[in-house]
Amino acid sequence: MKLRLILSFLLLTISVTAFSQEKQNVTIVEKGLIKVSVMYPYAEGKTFNMEYYELKHMPMVARFLGSNLVKYTIEKGIASGIPNQPLPFMAIGTFYIKSLSDYQAAIAPNRDAIRADFPNYTNISPVILVSEVIK
- Domains by residue range for the chain, with CATH: 28-132 (3.30.70.100)
On whether the CB atoms of residues 106 and 36 are closer than 8 A, the answer is no
More confident position, 51 or 14: 51
The 10 Å Cβ neighbour count of residue 117 is 16
The 10 Å Cβ neighbour count of residue 47 is 9
Strand 34-41 and strand 127-132: pairing? antiparallel
| Whole-angstrom distance, CA of residue 86 vs CA of residue 79 | 7
34 φ/ψ angles, rounded to the nearest 5 degrees:
-100, 135
pLDDT greater than 70 at residue 5: no
| Whole-angstrom distance, CA of residue 22 vs CA of residue 62 | 23
More confident position, 61 or 19: 61
pLDDT (tens digit per residue) in 22-63:
445 555 678 999 999 999 999 999 999 999 999 999 999 999
